[in-house]
Amino acid sequence: MSDENNNARQQQWMLTALRLFGRLPLGFVTRFGAFGAWLITWLPLSMAGAYRVVLVNILLCYPALSYREAARRARRALTETGRTLAEFTHVWTRPPEETLRRVRSVKGMEALRAAYASDRPVLLLTLHQSSWEIPNLLLGPEGPMTVFYQTSASDAFNTVVTRAREGTGSTLVPADARGIKAAIAAMGRNESVAILVDHTPHGSNNPWVPFFGHPVRTSNLPYKLISRYHPHVFFVGCHRRNGPNDIEVYIEPAADAIHSDDESTCLAAMNDGLATLISRYPEQYHWVYKRLRHSHGRKRQFYRADVVPYLRDARRRNGTLKVDELP
Residues 6+ apart with CB under 8 A from 132: 84, 126, 196, 237, 238, 286
| Cβ proximity of 244 and 24 under 8 Å | no
Q: How many CB atoms lie within 10 A of CB 4?
A: 8
DSSP string, 89-148: HHHHHS-HHHHHTTEEEEESHHHHHHHHTSSS-EEEEE-SBSSTTHHHHHHGGGS-EEEE
Q: Give 180-203 pLDDT, tens digit per residue.
A: 999 999 999 999 999 999 999 988
Q: Give 283-299 pLDDT, tens digit per residue.
A: 999 999 999 999 998 99
Q: Whole-model pTM? A: 0.93
Query: Mean per-residue pLDDT for 165-172?
Result: 96
Report d(CA 256, CA 34) in Å as an integer. 38
Q: What pLDDT shows up at residue 5?
A: 55
Whole-angstrom Cα Rg for the chain: 20
Give percent of the chain with pLDDT exceeding 90. Answer: 86
CA distance readout (Å), 254 to 53, 88, 244, 264: 29, 28, 27, 16
| Cβ proximity of 307 and 52 under 8 Å | yes
Q: What pLDDT shows up at residue 1?
A: 47
